[in-house]
Copies of this chain bind each other. A is one copy, B any other.
Amino acid sequence: MRQAIDLRHAYRLLNHGPTVLVSACHEGRANLMPAAWVMPLDFHPPRVAVVIDKAAYTRQLIEASGRLALSVPCAAQAALVHRLGGYSGATRDKFTPPEGACALDEPQAASPLVAGCVAWLDARLLREPHVEQSYDLFLAEVTAAWADARVFHQGRWTFDQAGDALRTLHHVAGGHFLTPGRALDAGSGEG
């Protein structure tokens, strides 16, 4: 179901504001963390911005490798996403199921992608030490992107055709998520 998508459409995987799992690896160690504070930063080349706390072990791996990946989880993974935010990968491996996540086998990705998600963006860090230090803000350029063709097709999310389990997660607070419902088209006519 995972299909590579045109990099011109990569921003659309994040444009509607889903919570993501940020992952990285370095010298045989891998980790991931949930992040709701993420957004597109540019269309072409596709760039993203994400906030990563200084205490996060994943941040160490991003800084060491200069790479990160974003996996976009779905409703079926709500408990997993919440749980992964509750402990540090410095002490317990987060890529070991069933407590942790399962990594995808995707040879084109430099950072580990999370299985069961509905979209993925592999990216290289754009080094900006000042905003990293002052705001915990990391900027990155997307080098490859994939989506689950059941829910992302021809540059659009198509959740209605696939069932509630594959809808993206939008965190409010404390493990309370919203998922996308009705779609609206204002693109033609005044509505």
Contacts and interface: CB of A to CB of B under 8 A. Distances in A.
A164 to B, nearest CB: 6
Contact of A186 (B38, B42, B79, B136): B79
Contacts of A38: 39
A159 B182 CA distance: 13
Give the one of A39, A135, A179, A189 with max B CB within 10 A.
Answer: A39
Interface of A: 12, 15-19, 36-42, 47, 49, 51, 75, 78-79, 81-83, 128, 130-131, 135-137, 139, 155-157, 159, 164, 167, 169-191
A52 B176 CA distance: 30
Contacts of A18: 17
Contact of A172 (B83, B157, B182, B190): B157
A39 B39 CA distance: 7
Given A16-B178, A79-B189, A179-B181, 14 more contacts: A16-B177, A17-B18, A17-B39, A38-B39, A39-B49, A42-B136, A78-B186, A82-B191, A131-B139, A156-B172, A156-B173, A156-B176, A175-B188, A179-B183
Given A82-B187, A155-B173, A182-B179, A39 B16 contact: no
A76 B173 CA distance: 25
Could you tell me the dominant secondary structure of chain A's interface residues?
Answer: mixed
Contacts of A170: 15-17, 170, 180
A177 B172 contact: no
A183 B177 contact: yes
A186 B177 contact: yes
Nearest to A16: B170
B182 A164 contact: yes
Nearest to A189: B79
Contacts of A178: 16, 157, 159, 180-184
Contacts of A49: 39, 49, 51, 135, 137
